[in-house]
């Protein structure tokens, strides 16, 4: 099971996550990240992991158990 978590207290609204995986991430009216869906397919999860790397505030974590 994989879960994508975001910490909106860390998010600075850079939007890199949305540019990387627009199917999963969006930004609210204040520019803060929101998670649209919890992805399950491997290709999307790889893209989410890339988004976590490029996020400048390290607001995205991928938890696997």
Give the nearer residue to ligand SF4 in terms of CB position, either 30 or 65: 30
Interacting residues toward ligand SF4 by CB under 6 A: 6, 11-17, 27, 33, 55-57, 59-60
Give the nearer residue to ligand SF4 in terms of CB position, either 2 or 32: 32
Asked if residues 54 and 20 have their Cβ atoms less than 8 Å apart, the reply is yes
Q: Cβ of residue 38: shortest distance to ligand SF4, in angstroms?
A: 16
Q: Cβ of residue 22: shortest distance to ligand SF4, in angstroms?
A: 11
Question: What residues have CB less than 8 Å from 27, skipping those under 6 apart?
Answer: 13, 15, 18, 33, 34
CA distance 1 to 56: 26
């Amino acid at each position: 099971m994989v879960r994508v978590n975001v910490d909106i207290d860390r998010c600075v609204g850079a939007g890199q996550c949305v540019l990387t995986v627009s199917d999963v991430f969006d930004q609210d009216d204040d520019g803060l990240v929101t998670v649209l869906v919890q992805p399950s397919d491997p290709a999307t999860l790889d893209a989410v992991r890339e988004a976590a790397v490029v996020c400048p505030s390290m607001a995205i974590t991928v938890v696997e158990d």
